[in-house]
Structure 1
Amino acid sequence: MPLWIIFTLLAAFAQNVRSALQRRLAADLTATGASYVRFLYGLPFAALYLAALIYFTGEALPQINAQFVLAVLVGGAAQVVAAVLLVRMFALRVFTVGTTYSKTETVQTALIGFLVLGEVVGPYAFAGILVSFIGVIALSVARTAITPRSIVASLGSPVALMGLGCGAGFAVASVCYRAASLSLDDTGFAVSAAMTLTCVLVWQTLIMTVWLGVRDRASLKQSYVRWRPAVVVGIASVIGSIGWFTAFALENAAYVKALGQIELVFALATSTLIFKEKTNRGELLGIGLVVAGLVLIVL
């Protein structure tokens, strides 16, 4: 099995765990504060991982360049903006419409990857991306009264634009992280991915610290007071990030993000097997389409 698939599966599973841990932490913090601890407490472990790789591989610390710096700055900022938009949509009654549009992330990643890196998605893989995308949409609306017609009718509304912007932010971040790793061509894929991850977390921690210091000092203070559970979130987050960044260093970001949608299957399996929640026909259809699309991508 190709390494990028292994790292993507690791990332999707760890992200599912991190989300569950963040929900518990959100009881004491705002949604923005709960997101902040991912960066703050993940950074030391990312730096430790980079140091361990350099020590055991014998490679030198990568020499950064202008392309690397630009990709890190743009990608890190884009991810923070996307995360903020996602949090904003949580406060809206029509949250499902917004998140449905945010699922265009995989398609947008393929487009942005072509425009920025010139990476072309093969016809079977593109078909897989579209099939899995339809499956994700089916999963998103399976337990709501929203119909395909209402989703199309909402195009142009503020919540739809927020959703599209959220998906675009995550797509830009993914392509930028791949571009940053590829720019460090004097090192192996693992070290270049770890270097990119560490630098991105430094930048994102700085952005979020300033933001919370100005807009929400109470959450900033609580993120330090609640450091014990926050460290666990940071560890789970950095494990997932190691998976994502390493996969980006190895393969087209569109393939990685599309395969990463298996996280939704993990989440649904958890709710069914552990919390004994029933699965309806719409969810079963969505799972089937997601899996079919992922099989096309892998093949």
Structure 2
Amino acid sequence: MWVFITLFAAGCQSIRTAYQNSLARESGFLHATMARSLYGLPLVSVYLLACYLTFGWVTFPSDGAFWLAASVCALAQILATYLMLRVFQSGSFALGTLLAKTEAVLAALIGLPLLHYTLSLMAWWGIALGVLGALVMSIQWQNLKQAHKDLSLIFGLGSGLCFAITSVTASMASHALSGSIITSAGVTLWYVLALQSVILCGMQIAKSREVLAPFRNNLRLSLKVGVLSSLGSIAWFTGFALVNPALVKTLGQIEILGTLYYSKVRFAEKVSKQQWLGGTMIIVSVILVTVATIK
């Protein structure tokens, strides 16, 4: 089941990221980062109610493990989204999304001591090949010696690290709750989006000195970002709760196909042979991870 959930999440995220890139160009990084949480919260609230009616409610731990993990998840996702949008400004749409894909191997490494998941050798090869494919697609080899000075590379890798932390802490928060794992994932997502909305709306209001500032910029585009983000996040968080987040994120790299399409068609960016090679490597990595999981 997690395979289909992840494919759905990747499809939603591919389209949402394209809209979010447009929103960042028109309304700024802060609003584009805020829109995914604030405008996605109503739909997630309806989803959580449906989970409660279908699967029942959950019990919160007394040690505060849920609140800590979920709060770290919310903050890490804010920073990850902001850094990815900064890459769009300093590099390209494709570059930002591709560099953020290093999160798969980072999630695997972070998850080993925290989640105690184990991976087969084939799964590790798949994760490594996926990350290598993302790097092949994004790095300009002629400037490799100066890569450490490339803001696009630094922001992209930082985004990947923060997204990896998001994946792992989302899984930790969901498993800290007692009850249906589906409802647990929904509760985690709702809290994360609510906390993000409060933080980001507060920042936008303080910056503009206008209480209604979060609702005045590109309402239609903000709604598209919010709805697609909420649908994708519901699927992502459910996937994180069901299996190792590293596997979910590796399979989710199939999103690269959508990234290449939007990069070429929507933003008129040239897709090189190097990027197509990296994309092929990523597809192979997805196949390896899927086969390793099924076995």
* CA distance, structure 2, for counterparts of residue 41 and residue 122 of structure 1: 39
Other-structure match for 1:130: 128
- Cα 1:200–1:75 shift into 2, 3 Å: same
Further displaced range: 123-132 or 89-98: 89-98
Other-structure match for 2:247: 255
Further displaced range: 106-115 or 60-69: 60-69
* CA distance, structure 1, for counterparts of residue 19 and residue 145 of structure 2: 34
Matches of residues 105-254 of structure 1 in structure 2 within 5 Å?
Answer: 105-141=103-139, 146-147=140-141, 150-151=143-144, 153-155=146-148, 160-184=153-177, 186-217=178-209, 221=213, 223-224=215-216, 226-254=218-246
Matches of residues 250-289 of structure 1 in structure 2 within 5 Å?
Answer: 250-269=242-261, 280-289=272-281
Matches of residues 23-34 of structure 1 in structure 2 within 5 Å?
Answer: 23-26=21-24, 28-34=26-32
Q: Find the residue that maps to 1:230 and give its secondary structure.
A: helix
The counterpart of 2:50, out of the listed 49, 52, 55, is 52
- Cα 1:275–1:225 shift into 2, 3 Å: closer
| Displacement after TM superposition at 1:245 (Å) | 0.3
| Displacement after TM superposition at 1:223 (Å) | 3.3
- Cα 1:18–1:292 shift into 2, 3 Å: same
**1:74 and 2:72 are equivalent in the alignment:** yes
* CA distance, structure 2, for counterparts of residue 33 and residue 279 of structure 1: 29
Further displaced range: 115-124 or 257-266: 115-124
> What 5-or-longer segments of structure 1 have no aligned partner?
none
Matches of residues 4-23 of structure 1 in structure 2 within 5 Å?
Answer: 4-23=2-21
Q: Deviations over 1:53-97 (max 9, x none)?
A: 11133x124435411111011111111122222333344369988
* CA distance, structure 1, for counterparts of residue 158 and residue 213 of structure 2: 30
Other-structure match for 2:60: 63
Other-structure match for 1:40: 38
Task: Percent identity, please.
Answer: 34
| Displacement after TM superposition at 1:105 (Å) | 1.7
> What 5-or-longer segments of structure 2 have no aligned partner?
none
* CA distance, structure 2, for counterparts of residue 24 and residue 125 of structure 1: 35
Q: Find the residue that maps to 1:154 and give its secondary structure.
A: helix
| Displacement after TM superposition at 1:4 (Å) | 1.0
| Displacement after TM superposition at 1:227 (Å) | 3.1
Q: Is the 8 A contact 2:38 2:197 kept in 1?
A: yes
* CA distance, structure 2, for counterparts of residue 129 and residue 236 of structure 1: 26
- State the AA in 2 paired with 1:202: A
Q: Is the 8 A contact 2:137 2:279 kept in 1?
A: yes
Q: Is the 8 A contact 1:209 1:220 kept in 2?
A: no
Q: Is the 8 A contact 1:29 1:222 kept in 2?
A: no
Q: Deviations over 1:224-260 (max 9, x none)?
A: 4543432232111100001100000101011111111
Further displaced range: 120-129 or 16-25: 16-25
